[in-house]
Amino acid sequence: MESSSETAVPARNDDRVLVIMAKAPKPGAVKTRLTPSLHVEAVAAFYACLLGDTLTLARSLGGIEIALMCPNSDVNELARLAGSGAQVVAQKGEGLAAGLTSVFAQFAVGHQRRIIAFNSDSPHLPRSVLEEAFETLVAHDVVVGRTYDGGYYLVGAKASHPLFTSDGMGTCSALERLLSRARVLGLRVGFADPFYDIDVIEDLVRLAAELQRAPARAPRTAVWLEQWGAAVTQLRTGTGDL
């Protein structure tokens, strides 16, 4: 669904909420599709860098409310990691679909606000994409940022809608299932720029190349990837262990 031609009323910046879908960086609990290539401890350290840089990205927007949505068991650890200025909220239910449902149930009910939920593994996302996604919500009911593998890294709305079910989440049909439900509900959908998140080792290699050219986009992650790349080189030349 594409946007209508109606003239949008300029929106205030203070009606925006940005929610990061997060987990505590525990070994074996995050970025599990990377573990065939990396040790679980290394993956957890990498995810901690992603999350830290994602929080920095969120704070760089200014004038918005920032929150983390997470499993109940992770609230205390994430509150410690996030520090001040970011609310940490326990989702109701298990899994990503329950988490996304909790985002809009928590922040949209009883308020006229634009809420965007996005991945904790996209600190390399240009800030302009988030700004434009919020603007898209002025004239749309829903905004979606698609990934190249058929999923989505960002979804926003101004109200709570029954858009998320556990079937198909994390698969190549996730986006189409979401758009199909939006069509049934008669919702106007706008789109953010396509992007990629970090799921498999190929994504890691792509991100390392990007941050080598522009490390300031995600400095913690850039440092980790530089060290990882050096370790890989040593392993391939037989001079070290990964």
Delineate the domains of the chain, giving CATH numbers in brackets. 13-198 (3.90.550.10)
Predicted pLDDT of residue 5: 34
What's the pTM?
Answer: 0.88
Region of residue 119 (left: phi > 0; alpha: psi -120 to 50; beta: else): beta
pLDDT, tens digit, 9 for 90 and up, residues 164-201: 987 656 667 889 999 999 999 999 999 999 999 898 89
Region of residue 70 (left: phi > 0; alpha: psi -120 to 50; beta: else): beta
Buried residues in 81-99 as b, exposed as e (16+ CB within 10 A): bbeeebebbbbeeeebbbb
Residue 173, class by beta-carbon neighbours within 10 Å (0-12 exposed, 13-18 middle, 19+ buried)? middle
Predicted pLDDT of residue 172: 75
Give strand pairing partners of 17.
65, 115
Amino acid at 6: E
Question: Angle, nearest 10°, between helix axes 219-237 and 40-61?
Answer: 150
Return d(Cα 118, Cα 136) in angstroms, integer.
15
